[in-house]
Amino acid sequence: MSTLTASPETPETPETALAAPARPAYRVTGRRVLASEWAKLWSLRSTWITLGLGLLFLVAFGVIAASHYKSSLDSGRHLDRDFATSTAVSLSLFGTNFAQLALGVLGVLVTAGEYSTGMIRSTLAAVPRRLPVLWSKAAVYGLVALLVATVGAFVAFLVGSRIVSGTPAAMGLGHAGVVRSLLGAGLYLGLVGVIGTALGALLRSVAGGISVLVAALMLVPGLVSLLPTSWQGDIDPYLPSHAGESIFALTHDSTTLSPSAGLLVFLAWTALALAGAAYRLLRSDV
């Protein structure tokens, strides 16, 4: 009868250690940082709510403006000065000023929200080089805001143009400059989202970022109107909001910038905000 004897374990040698499967090495890459920011963006309930509000503002106010114009003509009432020279494009994009607040505020929340919760520490621990985090947040949210705003602009125009059909404001997509204006509105709102993201990273405060955003887009133009007329002509076209409006305006005059010039000026404002955010991110602790 044979007996089973337990053989001692084979001692580990350098050869067997090398033969053991190694753990996969994970590296921080641009694609993975983008994927991380994409996942974080859509995991927040505020993203869905605020994007929905931005889309609602853009479409609803455009339809309301077109309906008001149509009803005023049908009833024979005197049109307000703002509506007398309106077109289907200007009426449909009437809600741009309201949509920019929603999309800009969400941009602030994308970055400043992480500072308020302390999550930014985990983010920068995973991505020690820091700047890829800022670029990824700006790129991801800017693209989302661009797509949502462009869809909203086209929907508002398609509905609004049917409402004002048969009036002096009637226009179709085939009219010169219409598609360019609608795409310009989407681009403008997408860049507003990027500026909001930069302000959130620069100020690291939700309240502070929103305050500066609202002041830059809505309060500063009102203050400039109080300056002497000779000064207004030199300053007014280069303000962020007015330069942005020239991107999607259908007509221009001597007091406004051309679409290409307005885009360049607004891109400069966007780059300035991103540069300030990048500087503070590199120079300050979180």
Residues in Cβ contact with 112 at an 8 Å cutoff, skipping those fewer than 6 apart: 199, 200, 201, 203, 204, 205, 206, 208, 209
- The answer to whether 160 touches 91, Cβ cutoff 8 Å, is yes
Q: What separation, in Å, do the N-terminal and C-terminal C-alpha atoms of the chain show? A: 74
Residue 243 one-letter amino acid: A
Higher pLDDT, 120 or 19: 120
pLDDT computed for residue 16 by the predictor: 46
**φ/ψ of residue 85, rounded to 5:** -110, 25
pLDDT computed for residue 11 by the predictor: 53
How far is 235 from 82, CA to CA, in rounded Å? Answer: 23
- The answer to whether 153 touches 92, Cβ cutoff 8 Å, is yes
H helices within 30-118, ranges in order? 30-42, 45-75, 81-84, 88-92, 96-117
The string of DSSP letters for 179-213 reads HHHHHHHHHHHHHHHHHHHHHHHHH--HHHHHHHH
pLDDT computed for residue 22 by the predictor: 52
**pLDDT one-digit tens code per residue, 58-102:** 999 999 999 988 887 777 666 666 666 788 999 999 999 999 999
Q: In the predicted model, is pLDDT for residue 117 greater than 70? A: yes
Residue 40: alpha-carbon gap to chain centroid = 16
pLDDT computed for residue 211 by the predictor: 95
